[in-house]
Homo-oligomer: A and B are copies of this chain.
Amino acid sequence: MPNICYIVGTAGSGKTMLTSSLQRYLITRGASITTINLDPAVQHVPYQADIDIREFINFEQLVDEYQLGPNGAMIAAADLIADYIHEIQEQITDLGESSEVVLIDTPGQIELFAYRTASLKIIQSFPADTSTLAFLFDSALVSNISGFLSINLLATSVQIRLNLPMIHVLTKSDLIKAHQIETILSWREDPYVAIEELHGMNREFSFGIGQIVETLSDIPILPISSLTGDGMELLAAHLSRTFTAGDDWSI
């Protein structure tokens, strides 16, 4: 069965950029990669997509034909993916067999992937033990405590919904300072310190959040920059270990 990595994250967190830079990094290291664009509404894809959902769903036509606004059209397009699941699944299986990993770039808005049913059907059509989510933490969003805790809960929400193992990636690491990255990583290790700095939260509520974020401490946060390439090696090694249960790929 193919090894699948779904790249998920809030709008603007850098999913498409990471897909592109990770594809390039892995290919130059001799790995065989299948790359899939699952966003019907994206305009420009900066990587070579082996499967592109836009070949199945014409977003502009959807807007014109059904007189939908951009929001309605994006929901309709995300739901329409369900009609092509059989074809997509077959293509992923075919291409994925000869690839070390299948990278799937998901729709711009995370909720279209996480909370609508079509994506759940795609995920469930492949075994969970050869699939993983790479959840992106946007540096700009998580460098303050409430943003950090909030995105941890969002990640947990998505994980419960999609029921797959998850790794966390801190994107745009070039946009924040090294000490800010350190701080973010330290919050992951001891969330209660972070929570104490948030005022006005009731005790049980804080405790529940701390409990969840503490459980996430097994999941590393990997800082990367798609721009400079920093952290790409670590991310590749991590994916390799995930899919080979301990043995690195040859890359």
Interface residues in chain A, defined as those with a beta carbon under 8 Å from any beta carbon in chain B? 10-12, 39, 41-44, 59, 68-75, 107-112, 114-115, 141, 146-147, 149-154, 156-158, 160-161, 163, 198, 200-202, 204-205, 207-215
Given contacts A153-B153, A214-B204, contact A147 B163 (CB under 8 A): no
For A41, the chain B residues whose CB sits under 8 A away are 69-71
Query: Which one of B71, B200, B212 lies within 8 Å of A208 (CB-CB)?
Result: B212
Shortest Cβ distance from residue A19 to the other chain B in the assembled complex, whole angstroms: 15
- Which residues of B have CB within 8 Å of A115? 10-11, 141, 147, 150-151, 154
Task: Identify which of A72, A115, A149, A215 gathers the most chain B CB atoms within 10 Å of its CB.
Answer: A115
Q: Which of A72, A156, A163, A201 has the most C-beta atoms of chain B within 10 angstroms of its own C-beta?
A: A156
Query: Which residues in B have their C-beta under 8 angstroms from that of A112?
Result: 11, 109
Is the CB–CB distance between A153 and B163 below 8 Å? no
A110-B111, A154-B154 given; 11 more Cβ-contact pairs under 8 Å: A11-B109, A41-B69, A70-B73, A70-B74, A109-B112, A115-B150, A149-B160, A150-B160, A152-B157, A160-B201, A208-B211
What is the chain B residue whose CB lies nearest that of A70?
A: B70
Residues on B with beta carbons closer than 8 Å to the beta carbon of A204: 211, 214-215
